[in-house]
Amino acid sequence: MTDIIKLLPDHVANQIAAGEVVQRPASVVKELLENAIDAGATIIKLIVKDGGKALIQVVDDGSGMSETDARLSFERHATSKISSAQDLFNLRTKGFRGEALASIAAIAHVDMQTRTHTNEVGVHIKIEGSKIVSQEVVATPKGTSISVKNLFFNIPARRNFLKSNQVELRHITDEFHRVALVHPNIEFHFYNNGSEIFNLPKGKPRQRISHIFGSRMEDRLVPVNEETEVVKISGFICKPEFAKKSRGEQFFFANDRFIKSPYLHHAVSAAFEGLIKPDTYPGYFIYLEVDPSSIDINIHPTKTEVKFDDENTLYAILRSTVKHSLGQFNVAPILDFDHDPNLDTPYAYKEKGAVLPKVTVDATFNPFQEATERRSGGSFQKVSAKGWEDLYEGLDEDLDTDNFSSLAIESDSDVQGTMYTDDEVGEHLATTFQLRRKYVVSTVKSGMLVIHQNRAHERILFEKFLGEITVKEGVSQQLLFPLELSFNTQELGILQEIKDSLTNIGFAFESLEEETVKVTGVPLVVPESGIGTVLDRLIADYMEGFDTGSISQAEVLAQALSKNLAVRTGEILDQESQLALVNNLFACKEPTLSPFQKLTYTIISEGDIDKKFS
């Protein structure tokens, strides 16, 4: 039998490694930014075109590379960070495996110019699919500039799996945030398609957070600080009243590296227990500093999943630290058992002064005066009782006691004040009724119809909004006074992206300026008091939903709106609303399933009911 095992060529091995290291353009951004930081850069520029598919360029003023180092940097497992296996347990740099540049060069066109501080000229290298096309001496500023063009040009299947430019840009922005937040001492610039998105000067962590997420974040932050033998904790948490429906503003950093840790996230959430609603998430920017030997950052190719030696202790310390900060800055309610609330001054009287009581005396009062007399001028007059019979005028006519057709009856389900005649109530009660404030039950020829009120209303609203976005016939309710709402740069970018679709369904915007949005009109189904909440939830659902499949923007938007505006489980529906729900559901094109592919109704046949009594 001949030998069948053979070594793979380097370019094939690099493409396989690229499948682990480079998942999308954001992965390239992460690797290049981390290399620039390891090079000691003080100014880093990120330039992106077409969501990173056409171009990703990172320019830094770091130490640069010599001609030999520049050539070796594209070889597999070539790195300056470690020299032995023991070094893996004392890592303080970003990249250390030496696979990033080799993997990127295997699936893209790479152009690198670099020069050290001591050399007068630098080196220019061009690589296409792991093949070096050219290498020459060039005059270039000190530092390194790496351009990655036509990502996945030689792997069409991987390129086809990339999302739209807007989605890929969103992932790139997330990676940029993760790197910029942990390095406030470095100046960052971010350009997309020729326009500057972020200009982040050097500063303190709190200033860096405000520059990224908007100036309104400044008043929402509560500092967190604790130092123990196990871990040093610093950073900020957001006040409970600013908890959101999305997980956007949640960042953990361990030894200046962004990490994902559901276990530590649970510790923070436990500290906020009772202060925020169950379906909301607290915001936090927490920096952990631990002994490098007590953390393993090499368990995943992306290096975002880590393993701590003593997670239980870290959990307890983090939870206690967050709770201490909430109490220390009077964010959490405090119980004072020595306080007597009866001694508190009512809120309405706090600013009022004392008023002396006044006594008035009726000098004309006569206790011997008869009840039927009154004082008029200077004499007494009798009060006439004539005409008292007129009060009962008309009551001697015969009453038609058999005619109760117009008598209004209010049933237990008429909680919204809807009134029906006796015939209407009988008819409606025989047609539909609400079960457990969750289902609407009705009768059909084959048996009993049970409708899930929340899912059914989602389907109705979904098809309504989808039609309005497509046909552009949404009805808008104009606000008497424009409503001003604040959003960060990323949220504002999403609103600008979906502005046309929102306008088609009835939203009207006066302006979408920096951090501020003026709303002048809303759809009829959106309550004026809930405009801000609806837009917040819409942005959160859109950010999470637009990347889950290949559905269109209009469908994602219609899904998000129907989810947030549909009737909830637990709401009481009157008879008219129940009937409207049934009729509108079966007028839909797809009444069986909700927009999220869940069953909206079921029919229990008469035979199934009979079997229960057999």
Alpha carbons within 13 angstroms on the beta-carbon side of residue 401 total 2
Residue range 359-375: average pLDDT? 65
DSSP string, 121-138: SEEEEEEETTEEEEEEEE
Q: Per-residue pLDDT for 405 more than 50?
A: no
Residue 404 pLDDT: 41
Q: Per-residue pLDDT for 173 more than 80?
A: yes
Question: How would CATH label the architecture of 422-614?
Answer: 2-Layer Sandwich (3.30)
Confidence category of residue 351, pLDDT binned at 50, 70, 90? low
Strands 373-376 and 379-382: antiparallel
Q: Which CATH number fits the domain 205-328, given the four candidates 3.90.1150.10, 3.40.50.880, 3.30.230.10, 3.40.50.2300?
A: 3.30.230.10
Bigger pLDDT: 261 vs 78: 261
Q: Per-residue pLDDT for 205 more than 60?
A: yes
Helix axes 489-497, 165-181, angle to 10 degrees: 180
Residue 237 pLDDT: 95
Write out 200-219 in H/E/C secondary structure: ECCCCHHHHHHHHHCHHHHH
- Report for 6-20, 223-237, 517-531: range of highest mean pLDDT: 223-237
Residue range 147-174: average pLDDT? 88
Confidence category of residue 11, pLDDT binned at 50, 70, 90? low
Q: Across 455-550, where does the E strand assignment appear?
A: 476-486, 508-513, 516-523
Residue 340 pLDDT: 61
Residue 126 pLDDT: 94
Taking only the tens place, the pLDDT of each residue in 291-338 is: 888 887 766 666 677 888 888 999 999 999 999 999 887 666 655 556
* Residue located via tokens 């900020």: 236
- From the list 572, 119, 91, 54, the residue with the least C-alpha distance to 298 is 91
pTM value is 0.70
CA distance 113 to 124: 5
Residue 403 pLDDT: 46
How distant is the alpha carbon of residue 163 from its chain centre?
20
Bigger pLDDT: 11 vs 319: 319
Residue range 481-490: average pLDDT? 82
Domain limits, CATH 3.30.230.10, in the chain: 205-328
Residue 323 pLDDT: 93
Q: What average pLDDT is seen over the chain?
A: 81
Structure tokens at 613: 């009594």
Q: Per-residue pLDDT for 178 more than 50?
A: yes
Strands 55-60 and 43-49: antiparallel
Residue 477 pLDDT: 86
- The CA-to-CA distance between both ends of the chain, in Å, stands at 71
Taking CA atoms, 492 is separated from 472, 484, 485, 513, 519, in Å, by: 23, 13, 10, 8, 13
Residue 52 near residue 176 (C-beta atoms within 8 A): no
Structure tokens at 284: 């936090």
Residue 168 near residue 52 (C-beta atoms within 8 A): yes
Q: Per-residue pLDDT for 597 more than 50?
A: yes
**φ/ψ (deg, to 5) at 74:** -95, 5
Confidence category of residue 203, pLDDT binned at 50, 70, 90? very high
**φ/ψ (deg, to 5) at 603:** -115, 125
The lowest-confidence range among 138-142, 339-343, 520-524 is 339-343
Residue 415 pLDDT: 35
Domain limits, CATH 3.30.1370.100, in the chain: 422-614
CA distance 462 to 468: 10
Confidence category of residue 176, pLDDT binned at 50, 70, 90? very high
Taking only the tens place, the pLDDT of each residue in 495-546 is: 888 888 888 888 888 877 777 888 999 888 888 777 888 888 788 777 765 5
CA distance 179 to 188: 10
Residue range 131-156: average pLDDT? 92
Exposed / middle / buried, residue 387 (Cβ in 10 Å: 0-12, 13-18, 19+): exposed
- The set of residues, in sequence order, having a beta carbon less than 8 Å from that of 295 and lying 6+ positions away, is 254, 255, 306, 307, 308, 309
Confidence category of residue 481, pLDDT binned at 50, 70, 90? confident
Residue 341 pLDDT: 61
**Max CA distance (Å), the chain:** 138
Bigger pLDDT: 26 vs 384: 26
**φ/ψ (deg, to 5) at 33:** -65, -40
Share of the chain above pLDDT 70, in %: 78
Residue type, 468: E
Q: Which CATH number fits the domain 10-200, given the four candidates 3.30.1950.10, 3.30.565.10, 3.40.50.620, 3.90.1150.10?
A: 3.30.565.10
Helix or strand or coil: residue 187? strand
Residue 29 pLDDT: 94
